[in-house]
Amino acid sequence: MKFGDFDLHIIRECTFRLDGGAMFGVVPKTMWGKLTDVDEANRVLLACNLLLVDTGSKKVLVETGMGDRWSDKERQRYDLHTLKAPDMVLSDLGLTPSDIDYVIISHLHFDHAGGATILRDGKLNATYPKARYIVQKGEWEFAFKANARAKASYRPDDFVPLQEAGQLELVDGDYEVCPGVHVKVTGGHTSHHQVVYLQSGAEQAVYFADILPTRSHLSPPWVMGYDHYPLASCDVKSQWLAACASQNYLVIFDHEPGVPWGRVKLKGEKFEFEALPENSLLPASLTTK
């Protein structure tokens, strides 16, 4: 999709399922159940939607998904279906992992950093061999001292090899990765969770990551049970959604299983999501055929 002078592409890396109660926190199932279906185990369907930003001079990948280093038992637990192996994530766009200049990871949970590393010849390597991986310094530090509640979401094999390869770039606070591509610290989901803000020409966009994972989480109080700081999540969602609605941002949801990008409108006191057409997810070469 054309976005100012940039080209944007959504890459659906996998689908998986997580417990519906955990995904919606204190919101009763009688409410969230009207917006999303569950399977027999009360799990909701999710996706890992990566975003490729081609600025013309740099190629930036936002998030890496779950990757493929999962046992059969773990795949069954999450009903995980890998749609793109790490070394093939960019294949539909005619690109290879070596074409990526930057990888932005919103936070280091396994469904965001799992595809950052790949097993080659029995050794873990960075999936994107020429990229700088952008991670918040506070998130990195917390990943090694997470308490019993949080540590299950962090797998050191997803990110330690990045440091060993000299490809890790720890940033402290809001930061411009390259012209028009920014990370903005939100907190909420984790203490140093970051979203990605894009600006090109007259266009603005935000990739919400886990502050607002799906269109079903549009209401500010509907925050995940996984959030470390749910009250902060509620507040920061309200602030970003107000800006998105008033300035017509493109919004992008990392875990939405349907069309994950579109616009947010404020109607009365409620925010509503208007998705882009489904064919906006196809590479430009396919949409013109």
The pLDDT of residue 270 is above 50:
yes
> At 262, which helix (H) or strand (E)?
strand 261-267
Give tens-digit pLDDT for 114-124: 999 999 989 99
Q: What share of the chain is helix, strand, coil (3-state, %, to 5)?
A: 30, 35, 40
Measured between alpha carbons, how far is 83 from 99 in angstroms, rounded to an integer? Answer: 20
Measured between alpha carbons, how far is 284 from 289 in angstroms, rounded to an integer? Answer: 9
Q: What is the mean pLDDT of residues 184-211?
A: 98
Instruction: Note the pLDDT of residue 286.
Output: 40
Instruction: Note the pLDDT of residue 285.
Output: 46
Q: Is the entire prediction scored with pTM above 0.75? A: yes
Q: How confident is the model at residue 283 (pLDDT cuts 50, 70, 90)?
A: confident
Nearest to 113 by CA among 165, 71, 154: 154
The pLDDT of residue 288 is above 50:
no
The pLDDT of residue 287 is above 70:
no
DSSP-derived pairing of the beta strands 2-3 and 6-19? antiparallel
> At 138, which helix (H) or strand (E)?
helix 137-143
The pLDDT of residue 284 is above 90:
no
Which class in CATH covers the domain with range 2-287? alpha beta
Instruction: Note the pLDDT of residue 65.
Output: 98
Average pLDDT, the chain: 96
The pLDDT of residue 23 is above 70:
yes
The pLDDT of residue 208 is above 90:
yes
Give tens-digit pLDDT for 29-75: 999 999 999 999 999 999 999 999 999 999 999 999 999 999 999 99
Torsion region of 173: left, alpha or beta (phi above 0 gives left; psi -120 to 50 gives alpha): left
133 versus 284: the higher-pLDDT residue is 133
Share of the chain above pLDDT 90, in %: 95
Q: Following DSSP, what letter does each residue of 139-183 receive, concatenated?
A: HHHHHTT--TTTGGGB-GGGTHHHHHTT-EEEE-SSEEEETTEEE
Q: What is the mean pLDDT of residues 172-191?
A: 98
Tokens of 166: 């000299």
Tokens of 182: 């920014």
Share of the chain above pLDDT 70, in %: 98
